Amino acid sequence: MANEGMKLIANNKKAYHDYFIEEKYEAGLVLHGTEVKSLRQGKCSIKESFIRIENGEMIIYGMHVSPYEKGNIFNKDPLRPKKLLLHKREIMKLLGKIKEKGYTLVPLQVYFTSGRAKIEIGLAKGKKLYDKRDDIAKKDQRRESERDFKVKNL
């Protein structure tokens, strides 16, 4: 996502390493006041988080939003489950997909766009160990070729 006015808060690089991302969706986040202030300061982690669909609603678990320093009694639990906002037909489509073997929903990044907190979620299929090794080998090969190219052009 290279939108103008987009401020990236958290990125989940591990998701790209562990999964093949097949489709991406943008969802809104239901947050309370102090959580939004904390997000604006960039205090968020989605590394250990996951998404479930329950009763026709998407909920993210394990997303850590640090308590706002000046929030005192208004601060919420940093790990509380947060509801995601998507159209009903998109949720039903995703529900059908994740019932297939091997598919899951993973959070990819959290960002602000036009003053609203959004989360990019991906429909993902798990990688096997040999797929991960293959990706690492390709990355090393690309890095080596870039280094050779740089040395030749000096």
| 8 Å CB contact between 108 and 121 | yes
Instruction: List, for residues 41-97, the tens digit of each pLDDT value.
Output: 888 888 888 888 888 888 988 888 888 777 676 666 778 888 888 899 988 888 888
What ranges do the domains of the chain cover?
6-128
The pTM of the whole model exceeds 0.75:
no
Q: What is the mean pLDDT of residues 25-39?
A: 85
- Residue 87, pLDDT score: 92
Burial class (CB in 10 A: 0-12, 13-18, 19+), 154: exposed
| 8 Å CB contact between 18 and 129 | no
**Closest to 115 in 3D by CA, of 40, 60, 44:** 40
Is a pLDDT exceeding 80 seen at residue 127?
Answer: no
**Closest to 37 in 3D by CA, of 72, 84, 71, 73:** 71
Q: Which CATH superfamily is domain 6-128 in?
A: Small protein B (2.40.280.10)
